[in-house]
Structures are given as C-alpha cells and as structure tokens.
Structure 1
Amino acid sequence: MSVADTAPITEDTRDSLLAAARAAAAAAYAPYSRFHVGAALLFADGGVVSGANVENASYGLSLCAETVAVSRAMNEGRRGGLVAVAISGGPEGEEAGTVTPCGRCRQVLSEIAQLGGTDPVIWCGGGAHVLMLRLSDLLPHAFGPANLA
C-alpha cells in the first residue's frame, strides 16, 4: 500500500498527531538528559501508536521515542501501513526547536514502512515551526528487508 492509497493527510491530522507526540513526551523517562521526546505513528487504518524516550543509567541502553513507538506497533501486530509520524521534544516541560529522528530511529521507521511499501510523512515539531519531510528524504537509499532476499 502506498501513501497515495490512503486517505489524504490533512492539517487537522497533522495537528492531532503532533498533539499525540507532545502527550507521549510528557510520559518520557529522561532523568539524565531531561530531554523528553514523544513520537506518534499514524497507520492507514487510522490507528495511532505513540511512544516516549526511556533513558537508562547505562546510556547506550536508552530507547528513543520512535523506537518505543515502533516496538509497540509491532507488538500489536502491525506490519506496514505506516503513513505518517510526528515527533516532538525538548527540555522537560517545554518544546525545543525542530527535533528530527536520529539515524537509528530513521532505520527503525524505515523497516516498518518498507514492510508496507510506504514512504511516510514525517512531521518534526518545534514550537510554532513544523518541518515536514518524507522518510526517504531523511534516509535515502535505506537498507531493508528486500536487501536480505
């Protein structure tokens, strides 16, 4: 299913998904960086799955919000159908400038998108400014399941 096969993504959809990302960020466990990030994933069936970053005293074991959201989605049996992602974050209790997915998260998002053949819209929140990109703009020439066939 391609993005073109889904219902149009409206400004209201964007605003709703960004609000879900902000709400997820409020639940972050970030005692070390105090930088809370939330991600919300929109699927073709209208379902939304969100996640927040989870830090660990062993910093390398921390989980980004996007990875948590994708893990939750996969645990719910979602394999593809990803049409949009919203990300919001900043110091505890406030929104920072534009927050984009890190490299690892770009790859994790790419996996679930490639399973459904989509190139989701990525909305990166930052106060009044929202950066809109496609996942393929953030991770061109991505490695994925087809590379292992």
Structure 2
Amino acid sequence: MKDKDKDHDTELDRQKLIKMAMAEIDHAYAPYSGFYVAAAVLMNNGRVYTGVNIENASYPATVCAERNGIFKAISEDKRAKIAAIAIVGGKDGKITDYCAPCGVCRQVMREFSEPSSMKIIMAKDVDDYREMTLAELLPYSFGPDALK
C-alpha cells in the first residue's frame, strides 16, 4: 500500500487517522496469535504512514504495527517527528476494545517524538477512542536527550 500524504497538514484529524488504521487491519499477518493490529502514524510534516503487525514462527522476529508504520516513516524522512498515532486491534481482526502499544513500541515512539505532545489514540471506532500523550504512557522515559 502506498503511504498517504495529507498535503503537509499537521492538523490532527482523529477520525481520519482512525479510519486509516481501520482500513489496514485486514493486511495484518497474525497466523499464530490471531490478534490483528493496524496503526496510522501522523508525522509533524503532515505525512501519514500505516503499518500492521507481522508475526513470525520465530516469535522474536515479529514486528508490531506501530513499529512497522514508524520505521516506514523514518526511512522516508529521518528528520520528521511523530505527531500522533492511531492504533486499532483485535482477535481475528474484530476491533472490540482499545489496543494499547507494547513497551517496545512506546520506547521506539520515544526515540522519534516529543513525548509531552505526541498523541496516542487507541480506538474501538472513529467515535469511540481514548487518547493519551506518550509522556502519560511512558513516564520518566529514557531517550536521546539522556545521551547528550
């Protein structure tokens, strides 16, 4: 799937971002857990990248939807920062609850965002979602600034 460009509009349209994530969930590859996850990542330059989870028989080789989308974004423009991410997921691709990012994904988000302003949108559908900043989900985080 080709990445989307929002004409460099960084205004956060939560419903549009959620719809973009929901549209990708069927592309997830989850033959072992059966838990499909999709994400839409809005960068501060207005571009949106999508990702899905891709499992592997060797479980550590699995990649989460969030990291899949973030790595696509960073490979295109390493200077951009994550402004927001919408995440949807559920067993057999049926979205029934809010899907929070795992700890590894939170740490990757920390590398490429400003934690106090980055929005994480965990959605059941376009009108039913929870939103937090990365700082709220990953308090007292370790990031690039600690190594300067």
Q: How would you bin the TM-score normalised by the shorter chain?
A: 0.7 to 0.9
Match of 1:68 in 2: 68
Match of 1:126 in 2: 124
1:70 Cα deviation from its structure 2 partner:
1.0
1:79 Cα deviation from its structure 2 partner:
2.8
The percentage of counterpart residues that share the same residue type is 38
Match of 1:102 in 2: 102
1:62 Cα deviation from its structure 2 partner:
0.7
1:50 aligns with 2:39: no
Q: List per-residue Cα deviations over 1:91-147 (Å, max 9, x = no partner).
A: 223112010001110001111104xx7621110012453011011100011111111
Match of 1:79 in 2: 79
**CA contact 1:82–1:118 (8 Å) conserved in 2:** no
TM-score computed with the length of structure 2 as normaliser: 0.86
CA RMSD, 1 decimal: 1.8
- Mapped to 2, the partners of 1:42 and 1:121 lie a distance apart of 10
**CA contact 2:42–2:82 (8 Å) conserved in 1:** yes
- Mapped to 2, the partners of 1:64 and 1:101 lie a distance apart of 9
Name whichever structure is richer in helix by fraction.
1
Task: Structure 1: give runs of 5+ residues left out of the alignment.
Answer: 1-5
1:82 Cα deviation from its structure 2 partner:
1.6
- Mapped to 2, the partners of 1:82 and 1:25 lie a distance apart of 21
Q: List per-residue Cα deviations over 1:25-83 (Å, max 9, x = no partner).
A: 22101111111100111122221011000000011211100111111111112333321
SS in 2 for 1:113: coil
Moved over 6 A (4+): none
- Mapped to 1, the partners of 2:128 and 2:39 lie a distance apart of 16
1:7 Cα deviation from its structure 2 partner:
5.1
Match of 1:91 in 2: 91
**CA contact 2:41–2:69 (8 Å) conserved in 1:** yes
Amino acid of the structure 2 residue aligned with 1:18: I
**CA contact 1:88–1:99 (8 Å) conserved in 2:** yes
Match of 1:3 in 2: none
Task: Structure 2: give runs of 5+ residues left out of the alignment.
Answer: 1-8
